[in-house]
A and B are shown apart, each in its own frame.
Chain A
Amino acid sequence: DQQVKQNSPSLSVQEGRISILNCDYTNSMFDYFLWYKKYPAEGPTFLISISSIKDKNEDGRFTVFLNKSAKHLSLHIVPSQPGDSAVYFCAASGGGATNKLIFGTGTLLAVQP
């Protein structure tokens, strides 16, 4: 049962344009959502997060939007740069003592120069 879904396995965007990566979840108990960026043969690096009590969080070129009623979040990258090319993972946490993260399957973003 995939609780966190990224339905687009890949996305191609021109440099300078906006990249929009989408993520859907099924468990309404998730209270924290995160985005990670991953290059091949490296560990994921944290990008940005959002608490379930907010609907938007911004950090530089990266903005995450959360729509709780639709159980949907998205990551916007503006403007996109070639160095942004990587796999982006959406993750959700249900809190508690263990704070386990449930990851989506990832979206490969390719930013064309």
Chain B
Amino acid sequence: SQTIHQWPATLVQPVGSPLSLECTVEGTSNPNLYWYRQAAGRGLQLLFYSVGIGQISSEVPQNLSASRPQDRQFILSSKKLLLSDSGFYLCAWSTTGLAGARKDFGPGTRLTVT
């Protein structure tokens, strides 16, 4: 069966500091990978998606970047965090095709920028 991991679970970082969140998927190959953010009181906003190694698409202009160095690894980064980057970050994966409409999510990372 497939499993998706995210770490760290929680993170408190000062404004201006760098960020690196990691997501890995087990039990599948060549998944589509996604980063979502849930800001306080809001829905889930798609930030980045990747259909393969080194292939990253950004959905919204922001202070963040993503990379996919390996097939089942997805990393969310920032060089300098802003207060507005606080939120709950979720990694998700899916297969391709019609079955890929369903996404399975990781446990999330709670980021607080102070």
Residue numbers of A with Cβ under 8 A of B are 6, 32, 34, 36, 41-46, 49, 89, 91, 93, 95, 97-106
Contact = CB atoms under 8 A, between A and B. Distances in A.
A89 B110 CA distance: 19
Interface residues of B, number: 30
B100 interface: yes
Given A41-B110, A43-B108, A103 B101 contact: no
Given A41-B108, A42-B107, A97 B98 contact: no
A45 B105 contact: yes
B101 A34 contact: yes
A105 B105 contact: no
A43 B101 contact: no
Interface in B57-109: 57, 59, 88, 90, 92, 94, 96-98, 100-108
A21 to B, nearest CB: 14
A45 B51 CA distance: 22
B13 interface: no
Given A44-B44, A89-B43, A89-B44, A101 B101 contact: yes
B43 A46 contact: no
Contact of A104 (B43, B96, B103, B107): B43
Given A32-B98, A41-B110, A105-B43, A46 B51 contact: no
Given A89-B44, A97-B51, A99-B32, A49 B101 contact: yes
30 contacts: A6-B43, A32-B101, A41-B88, A41-B110, A42-B107, A43-B6, A43-B105, A43-B107, A45-B105, A46-B102, A46-B103, A49-B101, A95-B98, A95-B101, A97-B51, A98-B57, A99-B32, A99-B94, A99-B96, A99-B101, A100-B34, A101-B34, A101-B46, A103-B36, A103-B44, A103-B45, A104-B43, A105-B42, A105-B43, A106-B43
